């Protein structure tokens, strides 16, 4: 323990003297309030500390104590369904202790150390184990079986193992004899420093898509399990709704949602909704597979900087158990701004737009913690998928945070204000978004959806591109002056946009579309396109085709419940008969 | 413990540097006594083991290095609160403000730190109660709910004051008679604007249920930093301790941000976009996030901050960062204003993020969401048709586009536009929406659930036009 005194206070930055022996990123307690902080600069005997709580009322001369430990999170049973602030303090416990407002100097541990869990051993005495190997299991929720693993940097021979039973997380469940001959007692949890990635055995390319139930994503710009994506967009374009939709419907086994510097009411929304919403696969409440980290915009800015690391470390821990984990960070711009604020207070030389010069490095390091991996300690594969929202200033994509993010992520969902104003949601632009996973995922699609899916999507995208060009011309000469073939392109592209890409997140059926239903819907639209093309070749006028009642039926496809999918296939028959009637009429005339 | 110093070494802009201080705390309240006996106020902005940097609320004119006596008061900036505040007009520091209010200061029931504390997200209750403002363009399209923060983005010369006053006058929760009050904070607005609000409040009787904090354009700019915090402290007291539903109107946030920039520049901080400090987002959120509802408490705080966008530019840092914090925005549009439409609400660019939980069966009506989606889609198509008509001439439009064009015109004239004293209830607003949709072919109603469409627009009615 190193004791120093406060020398200077400027907002969330406190400079302490007498800290010669402290280390970078050590956790410190500031003043008699015991405010939590982290050392971010050392100069001679002075340490600059970013303080995770309000600093009003602190005085020069107040004590500062360095713990000698880096900022860490507690990892063990009790994480699932929790809601934490940026430094893993449970917000529900804070409320019990401090009331409706967050006051200062509250010290509560991340996990409940009193609660007892059903523990079942999975290893035996005499076994040589190393980091990541499973010692036992705890059924934490109906959806998550918590694997108690040997902490990553520990190994040895098991000399003692506890019997199955109910224990709290402080209970020693195994004793190891390390190669140095020391005995290590392992409780059900361990600590891990948030800024240090947890080790893995091997990283692999994503080969399976993260099915999200969002048509524009799954069909056009899919995200691989273990991949990275970014959603930049101006305010009001629906970033948060997309993040919420992914957190609700993505087929990950575990979801970590980090609300970083965003609105308090949005976190409340998640908190109230998730216990009620059902996981589409298991029918269990979604909260049973969710951890929330909420550091809203008015909570201390330094803790906001830490919140994304707290979130991703928890994500990595569940990945190590062999789960497919999805982490949503909303919004990484607020995280970058917190970095900028601290950098400014440290009087560092600024890079672009006042952001620190190391902004790009930090962002790259963060996204690099995602991955489809072979876990350490046993034959398990896990995946950590990261989706970061970015809120560029003025919606301008030349923003340094957007540019630094685009350099590392593989999927870009470009949110467009113009679509949002037309209430086309999700407002993901189909012309400039991209996914670099399409090739990796080809085999999966061929197997699950058949060989015609990938070419069909290519054709749909090409139609939308042709539409963009044709609209320019149509604007000048009027749509009626276009050739019938071109008019059909406009018709089908409109149908793709309005009947397929548009999706109502607040409609109970439309909010989630299985990949099978997506394929059926796409087939109907493309089939109609092909049939109409045939009719036009047979001389049917486009005006007559576009007025057919089938249009209305196609528009309602998305509201057909998952259990009545036959009804969608049925539409194809109506399409055939209605169009054939027109062809026959044309031929008899 | 009060300590007095005469060791000022530097005065620059609104900042004062005091040397050889001891035991002074960060953010401590400061009193400066001038030789004339005049008392100024300030707070500690930065402190190290020798010097304190003090921000002067009333500006530095007339202060001197040798003659100023600086007292550190051992507490942070506080506001005395009580229920007597209702009906009163205060200045930016919580003192009765002449000429609007000449009564003696209130007797405070308690003192509250004006910075407040962040509401624990776990303690928040999700805003879901519909507030009827009487404006179709708000109630029907960008519905306001209790506990929301919904700013008005305006421009110079647009009628934002009239809109805000009308909301303050008409806003109510359907079917409830709970106590409701307005807290109004004016920052750097002109006497005329302030007078408009006060007179409107007095005329309509709203003044008895209002607390006003007023910092006019001629008042010290730095005082604007504390004005909204004073107002919100009063609002929190009334909402959470006295169970009242409070509507907070803050105008004009642009002046607030400019005051913040002034201090940042005086401190020689690295500027962010357009010279505003890098922490503008965090600072604004410490104001806006004080809106909300809390589980187990009856009262609520709904915020309507008003800001004027320089050059009507929505990407300017002030509207931009505001939009990222608030739950939507109401945008006033110059083009509509010129057409004579009041309120000139740009419904396309406006948005209320919380409306989905505040509308529908039991709140407004079951058809509200579908109707809203359809109206927006139709208006959007109508505006596209209008653009096309400019290029091609209206005669060259397809029959369908002509219908959409007609719809857009009627929508602006009859739905968006309404009188300054016209208070439409939600039923009227929704019915008007259906009436306008019937200008279009029935098979264009793609956003409406088929069953609902049959109920509100039976097939038999289609040919009626």
Q: Give CA separation, B177 vs A196, B86, B145, B248, B421, in Å.
A: 56, 18, 16, 19, 21
- Asked if B377's CB is within 8 angstroms of A422's CB, the reply is yes
Mean pLDDT, 10 residues at a time, chain A of 589 residues = 92 92 92 91 93 90 93 95 94 94 90 96 94 96 95 95 96 95 95 96 95 96 96 87 90 94 88 84 89 91 91 97 95 91 86 90 97 93 96 88 95 91 88 94 94 94 94 81 93 94 89 95 96 93 90 90 93 94 88
| Chain A partners within 8 Å of B391 (Cβ) | 475-476
Cβ pair B380, A422 in contact under 8 A? yes
User: Which stretches of chain B score pLDDT less than 70?
Assistant: 1-2, 175-178, 462-465
Is A357 part of the contact surface with chain B (CB cutoff 8 Å)?
no
Contact of B389 with B404, CB cutoff 8 Å: no
Instruction: Please name which of B441, B328, B307, B424 lies closest in space to residue B374, comparing C-alpha atoms.
Output: B441
Chain B positions in Cβ-Cβ contact with residue A340 (cut-off 8 Å): 272, 278
Q: Are residues B47 and A476, on separate chains, in Cβ contact within 8 Å?
A: no
The whole-angstrom distance between A92's CA and the closest CA on chain B is 6
Region label for A261, one of left (φ > 0), alpha (ψ between -120 and 50) or beta (otherwise) = left
The values of phi and psi at residue B21, to 5°, are -95, 160
| The predicted structure's pLDDT at residue A422 | 77
Please count the other Cβ atoms lying within 10 Å of the Cβ belonging to residue B385: 21
Rounded CA separation A254/A86 (Å): 19
A556: which chain B residues are within 8 Å (Cβ-Cβ)?
A: 446, 450
Residues of B in contact with A296 (CB under 8 A): 118, 121, 285, 289
Residues of B within 8 A of A55 (CB-CB) are 26-27
Cβ contact, residue pair A298, B290, below 8 Å:
yes
Q: Which residue of A has its CA nearest to B43?
A: A56
Contacts of A101 in chain B (CB under 8 A): 116-120, 123
Domains in chain A with CATH codes? 2-70 (2.40.30.20), 115-188 (2.40.50.100), 202-435 (3.40.50.300), 453-588 (1.10.1140.10)
Q: Nearest Cβ partner of B289 from A60, A297, A341?
A: A297
Q: Give B85's DSSP letter.
A: G
Report chain A residues whose CB lies below 8 A from the CB of B369: 506
Would the CB atoms of A264 and B392 count as touching at under 8 Å? no
Task: Find the CB nearest B282 among A259, A341, A350.
Answer: A341
Name residues whose C-beta falls within 8 Å of residue B255's C-beta, 6 or more positions apart in sequence.
B187, B188, B189, B217, B221, B224
Would an 8 Å CB–CB cutoff place B14 in contact with chain A? no
Predicted confidence at residue B388, as pLDDT, reads: 84
Report chain A's terminal Cα–Cα distance, integer Å: 96
Q: What interface predicted TM-score (ipTM) does this complex get?
A: 0.86
State whether residue A436 sits within 8 Å of chain B by CB.
no
What is the number of other CB atoms lying within 10 angstroms of the CB of residue A189?
A: 21
- Min Cα distance A271 → chain B (Å) is 8
B271 touches chain A (CB under 8 A): yes
Say if the Cβ atoms of B289 and A267 lie within 8 Å.
Answer: no
On chain A, the residues whose CB falls within 8 A of the CB of B49 are 7-8, 17, 60-61
B120, B269, B321, best to mutate vs chain A, most A CBs in 10 Å: B120
Query: Which residue in the set B320, B327, B380 is minimally distant from A263, CB to CB?
Result: B327
How many helices (H) does chain B have, and how many strands (E)? 13, 22
Contacts of A264 in chain B (CB under 8 A): 118-119, 121, 124, 289, 292
B12 has a chain A CB within 8 A of its CB: no
Phi-psi region of B113 (alpha: psi -120 to 50; beta: other; left: phi over 0): beta
Helix runs in A414-514, H state only: 417-421, 438-449, 453-477, 484-495
User: B270 touching A, CB under 8 A?
Assistant: yes
Q: Distance between CA atoms of B224 and B206, rounded to whole angstroms?
A: 24
At a CB cut-off of 8 Å and minimum separation 6, what does A561 contact? Answer: A509
At residue A318, the pLDDT reads 97
How many other C-beta atoms lie within 10 A of the C-beta of residue B74? Answer: 14
Q: Taking CB atoms and an 8 Å cutoff, what residues of chain B touch A334?
A: 281
Q: Which residues of B touch A491 (CB under 8 A)?
A: none
Nearest one of B342, B432, B444, B439 to B141, comparing CA atoms: B432
**A505, closest residue in chain B (CA to CA):** B356
Residues in chain A: 589
Q: State the smallest CA–CA distance between residue B241 and chain A in angstroms.
A: 12
Q: What is the pLDDT of residue B126?
A: 92
Nearest to B380 among A10, A94, A422 (CB): A422
Q: Do A264 and B121 touch (CB under 8 A)?
A: yes
pLDDT at position B177, please?
Answer: 66
Give SS3 for B434.
helix
Q: Taking CB atoms and an 8 Å cutoff, what residues of chain A touch B123? A: 95, 99-101
CB contact, 8 Å: B100 with chain A?
no
What pLDDT, in 10s, does the model give residues B287-333? 999 999 999 999 999 999 999 999 999 889 999 999 989 999 999 99
The H or E element spanning position B283 is helix B280-288
Distance in angstroms (rounded) separating the CA atoms of residues A355 and B51: 29
User: Is B408 part of the contact surface with chain A (CB cutoff 8 Å)?
Assistant: no
Cβ–Cβ gap A95/B120 under 8 Å? yes
Residue B180: the pLDDT is 85
Q: According to the model, what pLDDT value does residue B465 have?
A: 44
Cβ distance A298 to B49 less than 8 Å, yes or no, reads no
Residue A395 touches partner B, C-beta closer than 8 Å: yes
Burial A263-273 (b: 16+ CB within 10 A, else e): bbbbbbbbbeb
Q: Could you give the CA distance from residue A11 to residue A347 in angstroms, rounded to a whole number?
A: 13
Among A389, A423, A503, A549, pick the best mutation site for testing chain B contact (most B Cβ within 10 A): A423
Residue range B372-390, pLDDT digits in tens: 989 998 998 999 899 888 8
Q: What pTM does this model have?
A: 0.91
């Amino acid at each position: 323990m190193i004791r120093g005194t406060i020398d200077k206070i400027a907002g969330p930055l406190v400079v302490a003297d007498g800290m010669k022996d402290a280390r970078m990123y050590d956790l410190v307690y500031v003043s008699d309030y015991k405010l939590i902080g982290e050392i971010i600069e050392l100069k001679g005997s002075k340490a600059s500390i970013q303080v995770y709580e309000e600093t009003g009322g602190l005085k020069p001369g107040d004590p500062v104590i360095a713990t000698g430990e880096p900022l860490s999170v507690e990892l063990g049973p009790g994480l699932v369904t929790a809601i934490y602030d940026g430094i893993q303090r449970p917000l529900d416990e804070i409320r019990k202790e401090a009331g409706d407002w967050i006051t200062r100097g509250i010290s509560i541990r991340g996990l409940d150390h009193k609660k007892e869990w059903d523990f079942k051993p999975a290893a035996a005495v005499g076994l040589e184990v190393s980091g990541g190997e499973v010692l036992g299991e705890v059924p934490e929720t109906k959806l998550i079986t918590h694997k108690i693993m040997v902490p990553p940097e520990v190994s040895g021979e098991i000399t003692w193992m506890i019997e199955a039973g109910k224990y709290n997380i402080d209970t020693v469940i195994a004793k190891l004899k390390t190669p140095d001959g020391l005995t290590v007692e392992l409780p059900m949890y361990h600590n891990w420093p948030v800024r240090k990635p947890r080790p893995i055995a091997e990283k692999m390319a994503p080969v399976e898509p993260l099915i999200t139930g969002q048509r524009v994503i799954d069909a056009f710009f899919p995200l691989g399990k273990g991949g990275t994506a970014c959603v930049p967009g101006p305010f009001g374009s629906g970033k948060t709704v997309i993040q919420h939709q992914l957190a609700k419907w993505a087929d990950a086994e575990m979801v970590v949602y980090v609300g970083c510097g965003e609105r308090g009411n949005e976190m409340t929304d998640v908190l109230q909704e998730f216990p009620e919403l059902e996981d589409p696969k298991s029918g269990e409440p979604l909260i049973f597979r969710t951890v929330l980290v909420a550091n809203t915009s008015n909570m201390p800015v330094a803790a906001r900087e830490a919140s994304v690391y707290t979130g991703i470390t928890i994500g990595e821990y569940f990945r190590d158990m062999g789960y497919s984990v999805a982490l949503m960070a909303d919004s990484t711009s607020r995280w970058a701004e917190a970095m900028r604020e601290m950098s400014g207070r440290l009087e560092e030389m600024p890079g672009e737009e006042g952001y620190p010069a190391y902004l790009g490095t930090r962002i790259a390091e963060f996204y690099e913690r995602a991955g489809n991996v072979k876990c350490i300690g046993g034959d398990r594969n896990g995946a950590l998928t990261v989706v970061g929202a970015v809120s560029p200033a003025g919606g301008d994509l030349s923003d340094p945070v957007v540019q630094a993010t685009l350099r590392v992520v593989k999927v870009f969902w470009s949110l467009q204000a113009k679509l949002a104003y037309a209430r086309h949601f999700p407002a993901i632009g189909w012309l400039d978004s991209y996914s670099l996973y399409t090739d990796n995922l080809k085999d999966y699609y061929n197997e699950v959806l058949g060989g015609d899916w990938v070419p069909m999507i290519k054709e749909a995208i090409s139609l939308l591109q042709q539409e963009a060009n044709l609209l320019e011309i149509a604007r000048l000469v009027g749509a009626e002056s276009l050739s019938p073939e071109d008019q059909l392109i406009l018709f089908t592209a409109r149908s793709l946009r309005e009947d397929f890409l548009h999706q109502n997140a607040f409609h109970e059926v439309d909010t989630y579309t299985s990949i099978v239903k997506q394929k059926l819907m796409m087939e109907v639209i493309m089939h109609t396109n092909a049939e109409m093309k045939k009719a036009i070749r047979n001389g049917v006028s486009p005006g007559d085709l576009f007025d057919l009642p089938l249009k209305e039926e196609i528009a309602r496809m998305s509201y057909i419940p998952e259990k009545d999918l036959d009804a969608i296939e049925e539409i194809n028959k109506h399409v055939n008969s209605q169009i054939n009637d027109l062809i026959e009429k044309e031929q008899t005339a | 413990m009060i300590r007095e110093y005469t060791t000022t070494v530097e005065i620059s802009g609104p900042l004062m540097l005091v040397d050889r201080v001891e035991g002074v705390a960060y953010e401590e309240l400061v009193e400066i006594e001038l030789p004339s006996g005049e008392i100024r106020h300030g707070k500690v902005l930065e402190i190290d083991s020798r010097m304190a940097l003090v921000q002067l609320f009333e500006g530095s004119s007339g202060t001197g290095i040798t003659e100023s006596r600086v007292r550190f008061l051992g507490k942070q900036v506080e506001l005395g609160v009580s229920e007597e505040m209702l009906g009163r007009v205060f200045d930016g520091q919580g003192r009765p403000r002449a000429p609007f209010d000449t009564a003696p200061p209130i007797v405070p029931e308690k003192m509250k730190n004006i910075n407040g504390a962040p509401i624990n997200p776990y303690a928040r209750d999700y805003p879901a109660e519909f507030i009827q403002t009487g404006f179709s363009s708000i109630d029907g399209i960008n519905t306001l709910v209790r506990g929301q923060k919904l700013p008005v983005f305006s421009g110079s010369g647009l009628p934002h004051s009239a809109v805000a006053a009308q909301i303050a006058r008409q806003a109510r929760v359907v079917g409830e008679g709970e106590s409701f009050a307005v807290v109004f904070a004016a920052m750097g607005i002109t006497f005329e604007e302030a007078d408009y609000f006060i007179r409107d409040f007095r005329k309509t009787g709203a003044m008895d249920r209002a607390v006003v904090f007023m910092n006019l354009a001629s008042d010290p700019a730095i005082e604007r930093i504390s004005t909204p915090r004073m107002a919100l402290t009063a609002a929190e007291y009334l909402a959470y301790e006295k169970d009242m539903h409070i509507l907070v109107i803050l105008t004009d946030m642009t002046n607030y941000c400019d005051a913040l920039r002034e201090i940042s520049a005086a401190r020689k901080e690295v500027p962010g976009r357009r010279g505003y400090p890098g922490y503008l987002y965090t600072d604004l959120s410490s104001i806006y996030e004080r809106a909300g509802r809390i589980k187990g408490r009856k009262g609520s705080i709904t915020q309507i901050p008003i800001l004027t966008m320089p050059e009507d530019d929505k990407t300017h840092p002030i509207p931009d960062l505001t939009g990222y914090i608030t739950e939507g925005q109401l945008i006033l549009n110059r083009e509509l204003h010129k057409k004579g439409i009041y309120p000139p609400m740009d419904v396309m660019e406006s948005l209320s993020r919380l409306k989905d939980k505040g509308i529908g069966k039991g709140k407004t009506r079951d058809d509200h969401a579908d109707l809203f989606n359809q109206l927006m889609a139709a208006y959007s198509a109508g505006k596209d048709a209008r653009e096309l008509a400019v290029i091609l001439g209206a005669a060259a439009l397809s029959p369908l586009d002509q219908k959409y064009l007609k719809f857009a015109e009627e929508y602006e004239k009859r739905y968006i536009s309404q009188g300054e004293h016209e208070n439409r209830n939600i039923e009227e607003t929704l019915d008007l929406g259906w009436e306008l949709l019937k200008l279009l072919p029935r098979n264009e109603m793609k956003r409406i659930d088929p069953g609902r469409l049959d109920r509100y627009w039976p097939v038999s009615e289609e040919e009626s036009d």
